[in-house]
Amino acid sequence: MLSGGFDIGGLRGIQEGKIVQPETGYLAVDLITGILEDSIKPMVSAINGLAIGGGLEISMACHARISTSTADIGLPELTVGVIPGFGGTQRLPRLIGLSKALEMILTSKIIKGNEAHRLGLVDAIALPDELLDTACRWALDIAESRRPWIKTLNQSDKLGPLDEARNIFDSARAQARKQSAYNQLPLDCIDVIEEGIVSGPLAGLWKEAHTFQKLIFSDESKNLVHVFFARQEILPIPGINCSGSVPPREINKIAVVGGGRMGSGIVTALILSNFHVILKEIDDNFLQEGLDRVQVNLRNRLVEGKLNPEEFDKTFSLLTGVLDYQSFKDVDMVIEAVSEDVSLKQQIFVELEKYCPSNCVLATTTSAIDLNLIGEKINCSDRIIGAHFFSPAQIMPLLEIVHTPKTSPEIIADLMNVAAKIQKIPVTVRNCTGFAVSRMLFPCTQSALFLVDHGLDIYRIDNAITKFGMQMGPFRLMDSIGFGDAIAIGDQFLQSFPKRCFKSMLIPLMFEDKRTGEATGKGFYSYDDNGEANPDHEIQNYIEKSRNISGTQLDPEIVNLSEIEILEMLLFPAINEACRILEEGIAAKASHLDIASIMAQGFPSFRGGAMFWADSLGTGYIHTKLENWAKKYGNFFEPSSFLAERAAKSLALVSINNLFICNKNILLTKCFN
């Protein structure tokens, strides 16, 4: 079997009315799986390659499953806003137990054949060239009563007592609400699984079918289907892709300059993908700290069962620590990962030009500094490229690849090839201050500071954003980044875009008092020994000082903003800046910004990404709001010409063909109710 399951294009076709929706019960009860399970002849599934989604559901309806050790197996339907619709919600718990089944379905986890065998999802592992023969023999053994004839829906030995199951369901619901209080999808899925446990598998199948068909037309599914196709649109890039006109070179040895949190995360990602890596630091203490961070990252994977001790040692052996550039003479790529200090980066690149091979890729992890400024003092600007990772780099999936007009296509292809090998999703953008991701994020943090200086409570702001579905609010995020980098990045934006920056003294005042964020235990929040963030009333003193310096007055309207109004004043400036990014050609498509907002900024995927969400409200609505704020509060909120043009013509930001227009008042209200 090699099956990726349900055709997502078909799902989108149903949503757009191009394909007729099947009748209730058709998917789960009357089609294929029931026929297979009730067959008078033994059915054995041979899994080689993929058994994903509907492919796995068909396999689970068979009387046995044989797999290769490397097959990919899972039920990822929640990633497109629906639940398994071929009986997966009922059969998986009966094969591997309720807790593991909930984990696999709710996280859309894909596992390998070996793990599936350990869990009991497959009955045996076979070599690829022996798979079919093994499956045939297994079927004959069943037919001749040498092996049991098992109907999955009849199994209950792994389900446990009903009281225990109820506790598991309660825990799963609590976890789902904690992760996103306003995403109903996982709760609907839990309800369906519970129905089968409490009322029997047939009742569960019917509820699964009804729920599946209801979810197809939900806003969440339409949004997530958009995200699915937006990911496909990122590659290929015409003329610059791994299979196109510019083939990548073989990259074997990579140097990383700087072993801080970012650098050590990048090193971890590289050695886990079998690259030989050199980590360069300025002295023995910093080098040891960097090596220790890498070991901690690997040890975490060891604890999680993603590495065994032998793999741990082999992976770490790929890393060499150095204190100078002498060993850079044969590296294929260098990734500079130091703090956001222009002069320091310039100095490093002078050294790299001196010691590295003439065809070496010279990458910087800067999140905001213009690449032309970084390469100002060297003569090989065609080899400079931005490799903007997101922290923690060994976990976060996005890599923003930044190129200037001088960057050679070969260099871009090389970095894209490395991105693929370390399993990063690349979004390629043109060079400017802040690129795409930081430019979209910066107006949100600026607006947050504006609102606080005018009287709004910090923690109301963060709460509004997290209730919307983002992982953390702007102030918690700034604590995580650290105020040193935040100030440096802010200075870059102030120099490049002075007319649309709001300058608050709040962060500089806190920075002067060595209150610099999570790393020092105090920022906008205070942090306990476990790293838990807690509101800190001392912040009010800094806010009042900031107001006194700037002469800002409390604004009663801002003090009393509703949660929806807070959300709009935080996110609409980011949408406005994204429009400028598109207008300037920094990003190729609005859908690329959707992926960037989800994978780098924590924008909730079930809302479709920042631009798709904006389209659900309407460009006219957003433009009117910004225009009114600009009249009242100044240039910071002034709508871009791109947004104004789209609004005047009632045009969307993302392709109009992919849009499902909702009533904006209903949609905004749904964010909080």
Active site positions, annotated: 57, 77
Using only the alpha carbons of the chain, give its radius of gyration.
27
Q: Provide the H-helix boundaries in 273-421.
A: 284-303, 309-316, 342-355, 371-374, 409-421
In angstroms, how far is CA 589 from the centroid of its own chain? 18
Q: What is the dihedral of CA 112, 113, 117, 120, to 10 degrees?
A: 70
SS3 252: coil
Note the residue count of the chain.
673
Three-state DSSP string of 174-187: HHHHHHCCCCCHHH
Residue 337's identity, in one-letter code, is: A
CB atoms within 10 A of CB 10: 11
Residue 75's identity, in one-letter code, is: L
Residue 348's identity, in one-letter code, is: I
SS3 656: helix
- If you search the block for the tokens 């015409």, which residue do you land on? 238
Contact yes or no for 351/377 (Cβ under 8 A): no
Angular region, 59: left φ>0, alpha ψ -120 to 50, beta rest: alpha
Contact yes or no for 244/236 (Cβ under 8 A): yes
Integer Cα distance of 616 and 612 in angstroms: 6
**Token output for 612:** 């798709």
Determine which helix (DSSP H) or strand (DSSP E) holds 72, and give its type and residue range: strand 72-74
In angstroms, how far is CA 565 from the centroid of its own chain? 26
Range 431-468 burial, b when 16+ CB lie within 10 A, else e:
bbbbbbbbbbbbbbbbbbbbbbbbbbbbbbbbebbbbb
Contact yes or no for 623/644 (Cβ under 8 A): yes
Helices (H) and strands (E) in the chain, counts: 30, 16
Integer Cα distance of 467 and 327 in angstroms: 50
Integer Cα distance of 657 and 638 in angstroms: 29
Task: Report the candidate in 397, 549, 559, 534 with the shortest Cα–Cα distance to residue 479.
Answer: 534
Query: Residue 250 carries which DSSP code?
Result: P
Task: Report the candidate in 456, 606, 432 with the shortest Cα–Cα distance to residue 540.
Answer: 456
Contact yes or no for 639/576 (Cβ under 8 A): yes
Which are the contacts of 649, defined by CB distance < 8 A and separation ≥ 6? Answer: none
Contact yes or no for 376/406 (Cβ under 8 A): no
Order of all β-strands in the sheet with 124-125: 44-47, 64-67, 124-125
